[in-house]
Amino acid sequence: MCGIVGYVGDGKASDFLIEGLRRLEYRGYDSSGIAVFENGKIEIKKKQGRLINLENLIKEMPVSGHIGIGHTRWATHGKPSDINAHPHGDSHNRFVVVHNGIIENYMELKKKLIQKGHTFKSETDTEVVAHLAEDLDDGDFLSTIKKVLSVIDGSYSLVFMDAEQPDTLICTKKDNPLIIGLGEKENFIASDIPAVINYTRRIYILNDGEIAVVKKDSVHVYDADGLPVSKKVQEITWSAEAAEKNGYPHFMMKEIYEQPKAIYDTIHIHLTKDGEVKFDNLNWTKNSLESIDNILITACGTAYHAGLVAKHYIEQFTKIPVQVEIASEYRYSKPLTTARTLCIVVSQSGETIDTLAALKEAKRLGAQSIAITNSIGSSIARESDAAIYTLAGPEIAVASTKAYTTQLVILLLLSLYMGQLKETISKELVHHMVEEFKVLPKQIEKVLTENKHMEKVAQRFIQAEDIFYLGRSIDYAIAMEGALKLKEISYIHAEAYAAGELKHGTLALITPDTPIIAVATQEEVMAKMYSNIEEVRARGAEVLGIGYDDDAELEKYTTEIVKIPRVDEFISPILSVIPMQLLAYYTGIKKGNDVDKPRNLAKSVTVE
Ligand code: M6R
């Protein structure tokens, strides 16, 4: 989604602005721009397409001022174009703004402004904000911006410049992230930490409604009532290299290979010396868990697929019924959530607006809430009663890989923890699972040795127009994630199906040209799965099985198999998804796609 940067200091603003925007490229964008104050006015440069287009423009017409703002846009209102790119200014470029989010009442505001004589250049909702500042200007930058905020509705992070006050940036946020990087004789603003990491490790994380007045020597933050806020400086602990490719050709590949470490980091802080599971920040007791009648898991995309797996975990270990809802549907489903519901939201970024909105709705209905997220201090983490972190490190590729497997790990640990507290599972089961967890990173390393094998399979699959992913029980949930991964990276149509359901209609689509991926790790449904594989083979389809290395039977039914080590069936999803990640990666590469930034997609989706 859109990326935002701002700079004020002794340095050349455009240097940081371009570097910061480059570091935010992973968010996905279609145009970019900067605004810099020089020669007594605000100069705006913007360009459709990749950042390189903007860089070329700046090379031709350099800007050397010391204060500025920048933006990478992901179109919501108005097509990608030079004119619709941010920054946007008012009639005289006195107030200039960059924005991430949506101004929901922009139409009615725009109408009123046009009646007052304002002329708009772009089709964006954002331009209204700059014109509003011009309209409401009372001579005081901060007070003017407060007036603007009092009339706009929607979600936003905003950074403003005022040509009459060329030493100051003002920024604010609601439901969209914004941080301030603190430097020596310079300060930075960004929508995400990677933008500032090469410049400073000390940051403020802005909360909803806070307004920051940022100058080169000072940062003053005020709450929504205008009262000064004493912000805590947060230290960034992860390294700059963690946000780089580290020698891998793509972030996606790097992140697939980081899974053993990400999983080790995520697991080990939740294991006790006695072979039990702990969550230090949850003050749950047997009694408090008795008060939960049902669990709602809500999330989007890959995180939703993690929720589908978790339903199996939680129901088996706690006997509490679990409902898994796509976040963008939940709010409109007239939910039956009550104060006896525990709502678990799952989100890598912690900023997905659909998930945030679902969480707010569940809370409004009285639910208790927990966030599982990879993003410390994110909106979703802060909105929830408690946050549990996946320690995957920054995930840059749009396609989620290590975030997904660490989500599965946390959800499995959490289910065991609940079962342990409720005494709905035996101590022996917990000990057994803890032992499985301890060897999991090594097992993942073994699965990663299927790399070359998956590259060869990808070579055959690039010809396919449709690919079906089949599974039963937990394997069906994993098949859904496999299919999503292939679609987003390779642009090949892929569909996951509950293997037993295929014969009720969709089997009509299966031909010798329709490759099948069959995930078969769940003993209880294994015989049935073999029959379902027979059904598609009988229609001439090639079947790639994903199963245990000691399952000689699966080999007989399929054309070819990808082997994962024999592990507990609750752990197997964490392994069986990895060959599917690799397959998606290589299929995308062989089709010449930009696998880290697939078309039409953004890493962090902060619009509904
Ligand atoms: O940041 P989140 O986990 O909330 O993102 C949710 C989805 O947008 C995300 O999982 C998406 O489906 C993945 N990029 C797919 O790989």
Cα 256 to Cα 204: distance, rounded to the nearest angstrom: 31
Q: Is 347 in the pocket of ligand 1 (CB under 6 A)?
A: yes
pLDDT of 241 strictly over 70: no
The DSSP-derived string for 234-261 is EEP-S-TGGGS-TT-SSHHHHHHHTHHH
In degrees, rounded to 5, the angle at the alpha carbon of residue 180 between the alpha carbons of residues 175 and 183 is 175
Under the banding of pLDDT at 50, 70 and 90, the label for residue 28 is low
Q: Which atom of ligand 1 lies closest to the CA of 304? A: 10
Indicate whether 244 pLDDT > 80: no
Could you tell me the pLDDT band of residue 419, with boundaries at 50, 70 and 90?
very high
Nearest-CA residue for ligand 1 atom 16 is 399
CA of 301 to the centre of ligand 1 (A): 5
Q: Which residue has the higher pLDDT, 507 or 240?
A: 507
Return phi, psi of residue 440, to 5°: -60, -45
Q: Assess whether 603 carries a catalytic annotation.
A: yes
Task: Identify whether 177 is preceded by a cis peptide bond (ω within 30 of 0).
Answer: no
Q: What is the pLDDT of residue 511?
A: 93
Task: Answer yes or no: are the C-beta atoms of 102 and 96 closer than 8 Å.
Answer: no
Which pair of structure tokens corresponds to residue 600?
């039409």
Regarding the beta carbon of 396 and ligand 1, being less than 6 Å apart is answered: no
H or E stretch at 159: strand 154-162
Give the number of the atom of ligand 1 that is nearest the alpha carbon of residue 352. 4
* 8 close to ligand 1 (CB < 6 Angstrom): no
pLDDT exceeds cutoff 80 at 74: no
Digit-coded pLDDT (tens) for 151-176: 999 889 999 999 999 999 999 999 88
Q: Is the pLDDT of residue 452 over 80?
A: yes
CA of 313 to the centre of ligand 1 (A): 21
pLDDT in tens, 75-114: 778 888 999 999 999 999 999 999 998 898 999 999 999 9
**Global pTM?**
0.76
CA torsion through residues 568, 574, 575, 580, sign: positive
pLDDT tens, position by position, 507-546: 999 999 999 999 999 999 999 999 999 999 999 999 999 9
